Each structure stands twice: as C-alpha cells, then as structure tokens.
Amino acid sequence: MIGLFFAVNIGASGAAASMGISYGAGVVKKQLALFLCGIAVFLGAWLGGGEVVKTIGGGIVPSSTFTNAIALIVLASAAMSLFLANIFGIPLSTSEVAVGAVVGAGIVYQSVFVGKLLWIMVFWLLTPVAAFVLAILAANLLKIKPIKKFVEKPKAGPLLAVLVVFMGLFEAFSAGMNNVANAVGPLVAASLMSKETAVLWGGLAVALGAFLLGHRVIETNGKKITKLRLEEGCIISGTGASIVTVASLFGIPVPLTQITTSSIIGIGFAKYGKSVLKKGIVVQLLTVWIVSPVISMVLSYTIIQLVIVRNFYPIIVMAGVLISVLGVLFLMKRTTSASIGAPTDIANK
C-alpha cells in the first residue's frame, strides 16, 4: 500500500508536470492533458520501466537485503523525505530520494555496490549539464534565419501545437520509464511482486495520480511560473525526455525535475546570456542534488538501526546529520527565494 501510494504521488507531482507546457499554451484543456499524461506515463512504466526496477531492487544493494520489513522502511523513508521537503517548500528528486533510502539500508548491512552507486551519481551530475548544453544548441538553431522565419509564420502554429503535445507525451512516457521503479523496486526485491506485476500496478498507480491529483501541479507548471513559446516548449520537453529515456534503457534512475530545470535555464541563457545564471538557482540545483539522497538515506539507516538492529549508538550521529541537512534546507530557502524569481521576470519580458 505504501509503495502504490508513493507511486500515486509520483504521478501527481512529476508526471503531471510533463504536460504543463501544452496546457499553459492553450493547446489542450486541463482534463484532456492529464488524461493523455496518464496514458503515456502508464505505457512508459509498463513497456520500459523494467530496467530501472532492476537497479533499485538489486543493482545498488543485493536483493537479498530486502526483507518485507526493509522494503517497508525504505519506501516509508523516501515518502517521509518528500514530506519533510514539502514542509520546507524545497523540491526534491524522487529518483534521488529513492536511491538514498536504498543506500541507507545497504550501509546498515555493509552491502552497497559502490561502483554502481558512483555510476548513478555521475549520471545525476552530467544529465542536467547535458540538458543545459543541448537546450542552448537547440535554441541557437531556432535563431537561424530560415528556421526563424518558418517558426514565426502563422501556418507553423498548428504544427508546433501538435509537436509540443507529442513532446509532452514523450516526456510523460520517459517519466513512467524512470520513476515507477522508485515506488515498486523494493517490492520486487522483497519478492512481494514480480517485476511484470510491479510495473503494471505501479504504472497504473502513477497514471492514476497524474489524472486525479495532478491538477495543481499542471496549473503551476503551465501558467504560474513563466510563459514559453511553443518551439521552446518542444525543446525543453524533447531534451528532458530524450535524456531520461536513454538513462532508463541503461537502468539509471535520474532526476527529471533537475533535467527540465536545466533545459529551461539553457533556453534563457541562449536568449539573454549570463544574466539568467543567478547564483541562487545554481546553489538550489546543487543543494537539491546533495540533500535529496542524504535525507532519505539518514532516515532509512536510522529507522533500520532503531527498529530491526536495535542499535541506538549510530542514531545519535545520524540525528545530528539530519538536523544539519534540514538546517541547510532552511538556509537555502531563505537565501535563494529572492534570486529565484529573477529568471522568471526575464522570461516574462
């Protein structure tokens, strides 16, 4: 129940955001956008979510680590981490939170596959950079005279509208491929579900979350942050979806939110130069990258030590780490809140 509830919230948050650009541009209505998103995210999970499930369930720590109790604690720790982040108003990566919770369990039993973990962390660092660079290149292509003239013609509007919807569905599909594993990977490892059953039910739960609970997220992403032209929306969704799909084929859980944010910053950089690279945004991206897995790792490690191992000494140290991390979150929110609004103002201009 916790795993499927986690999947519903993944759909409501991350997956629903994929159709925000199409909805914000008025190409599709909200209900239709969420319905299409639900279908795409389910197909992504069902058809392509298996590789990342393998990684979460047995690629970071041995699958034998996951008893029923460990799977419960890992999923609960990931969910609690997201809850704490919501209280502080800080966006966390679902993939990073899930990996952190798994690593916490692995540290208790000294069974972490360090090489695989480092490989995943390299992807976490490089994928936002790749999204930033690809977005700049694509935005510069739009400045080429023949392409620019075509895009500005009224006849190009319907074609761009169809293309931005397609790219939004592609992004939702990639989100299903990558994110469903965060909720069902531990269940597969604990033999509570087969991989096929897990991606089926997990995909349905993510789709249900997007359709039933994604209204506020799609409203925020589509109309309350900034306005993007259709061609810019195509670049953002297409870049993020392509990177996440490739990562999913290799079984690597990656942070879709940070990849999308980096694409948006890349578009802004191509249009306005260094003025969009505000220090606060860079600090926020790096902090989220570090804090996301640390919070869930500390919670998972501490709960296992307390409930299963019944070893109270490491908990004192981990409590100090958790307090420090939450302090960093609080300071980050205060110091970056003013500067984060700047790129939005620039984009609106």
Closest CA to 18 of 36, 43, 31: 36
For the four alpha carbons of 13, 14, 16 and 18, in that order, the dihedral sign comes to positive
Per this entry, what is the length of the chain?
A: 349
pLDDT in tens, 227-258: 677 888 888 888 889 999 999 998 999 988 77
Distance between CA 24 and CA 45 in Å, rounded? 25
Which segments within 10-103 are labelled E, that is strand?
none
Q: How far does CA 10 lie from the centroid of its chain?
A: 9
pLDDT in tens, 37-48: 889 999 999 998
* DSSP assigned state of 86: H
- All residues at 6 or more sequence positions from 132 whose CB lies less than 8 Å from its CB, including other chains: 262, 263, 265, 266, 269
* DSSP assigned state of 19: G
Per-residue pLDDT of the chain (349 residues; tens, 9 = 90+): 888 888 887 887 766 667 777 877 778 888 888 888 889 999 999 998 889 998 998 889 998 889 999 999 999 988 887 776 656 555 567 888 899 999 999 998 888 899 999 999 999 889 989 999 998 898 888 888 888 888 778 777 788 888 888 988 998 899 889 888 888 999 998 889 888 899 999 999 988 888 887 777 777 665 655 567 788 888 888 888 999 999 999 899 998 877 887 888 888 888 777 776 665 666 666 677 777 788 888 889 888 988 888 777 766 766 676 677 666 666 655 655 544 444 444 344 3
Q: Is 143 helix (H, G, I), strand (E, B) or coil?
A: coil
For residues 240 and 263, the answer to whether their CB atoms sit within 8 Å is yes
Question: The tokens of 20 are what?
Answer: 């925000």
Distance between CA 209 and CA 179 in Å, rounded? 13
